[in-house]
Amino acid sequence: MSNKNVLIIGASGGLGEYITKELAAAGYNLALHYNNGFKKLETFFESIKEHDVKHKTYKADITSENEISEMIRKIKEDFGTIDILINNAGISINGMSWKLSADDWNKVIAVNLTGPFLCTKHVLPVMKENKFGRIIFMSSVVPQLGVIGTSAYAAAKAGLGGLSKTISKEVIKNNITSNLISLGYFDAGLLYQIPEDIRRHIKETIPMKEFGNPLEVVECIKFICSLNSGYLTGQTINLNGGLF
């Protein structure tokens, strides 16, 4: 059992639910972030309470640096420190590049790229003080493949690769690692924003012929969180059923 403190950004989402429940079962103390999804997050409380872990919820729109810095300040006050940051929030707005509005482009970049940068920026001083940290960015196979209609999402998720790599070099001396998990199509959350006929087509293109089990994402996260993974940094871990 771990007594480390984890901040899960986007705990209220589809994958967030699995990450939250499984890390509670593994003994991690949880700072659970949400934006509009408090009602969904509330439904996990019963299964968290089965485990003897501390948990608290924090609301923030990650497009606002003020809301993020206030959230981190409160978490530090409540938990003392933050050992692990999981940058898991994300949105997708699709459209052909020649039709996508600048407004939609900016929203996708703000949540998927600038938000994780700001969360990391404000958590790093806490981790540096503690001389320990694990930062995880949730990316996607989409920029690796090139998927029609996803230019903003692909650009933002590709950007996370550069961000994670840079951070890994900047804080290596502070015993802080930074890694990116690049996901194929997993059976949760955003997948269900894709129309059913396209979802069926996507499944056919996956060499494994099935969507990923979210519990495998959590297993990967648990390995990165563990004390045995200190030599793993600056890496992209591809979990995609053979798609890329």
Residues annotated catalytic, as ranges: 153
**Pairing mode, if any, of strands 29-34 and 84-87?**
unpaired
Q: What is the residue type of 238?
A: N
Residue 191 beta carbon to ligand NAP: minimum distance, rounded to whole angstroms: 4
Selection from 135, 136, 131 nearest residue 175 by Cα = 131
Name which of residues 54 to 73 contact ligand NAP (CB under 6 A). Answer: 61-63
One character per residue 166-205, x = contact with ligand NAP (rule: CB under 6 A)? -----------------x-xx-xxxx--------------
Per CB under 6 A, 14 contacts ligand NAP: yes
Q: Quick one: which segment of 82-90, 94-102, 125-133, 144-152 binds ligand NAP (CB under 6 A)? A: 82-90
Rounded Cα–Cα distance for residues 30 and 23 (Å): 8
**For ligand NAP, which stretch binds (CB under 6 A), given 32-40, 163-171, 218-226, 231-239?**
32-40
Residues near 52 by Cβ (< 8 Å), separated by ≥ 6? 27
Using the minimum distance from each CB to ligand NAP, give the nearer residue, 129 or 210: 210
CB of 60 to ligand NAP, least distance (A): 6
Cβ-based neighbours of 61, under 8 Å, separated by 6 or more: 35, 67
Residue 163 or 183 with smaller CB distance to ligand NAP: 183
Q: How far is the CB of 8 from ligand NAP (least distance, A)?
A: 9
**Distances in Å between the alpha carbon of 240 and those of 142, 196, 219?**
10, 20, 14
CB closer to ligand NAP, 176 vs 191 = 191
Q: How far apart are CA 217 and CA 220, in angstroms?
A: 5
Residue 12 is a binding residue for ligand NAP (CB under 6 A): yes
Q: Is 15 in the site for ligand NAP (CB under 6 A)?
A: yes
Size of the site for ligand NAP (CB under 6 A): 27
d(CA 89, CA 114): 11
Provide φ and ψ at 237, rounded to 5°. -105, 120
| Cα gap 53→2, rounded to integer Å | 10
Which residues would be at the binding site for ligand NAP (CB under 6 A)? 10, 12-16, 34-37, 61-63, 88-91, 111, 138, 140, 183, 185-186, 188-191
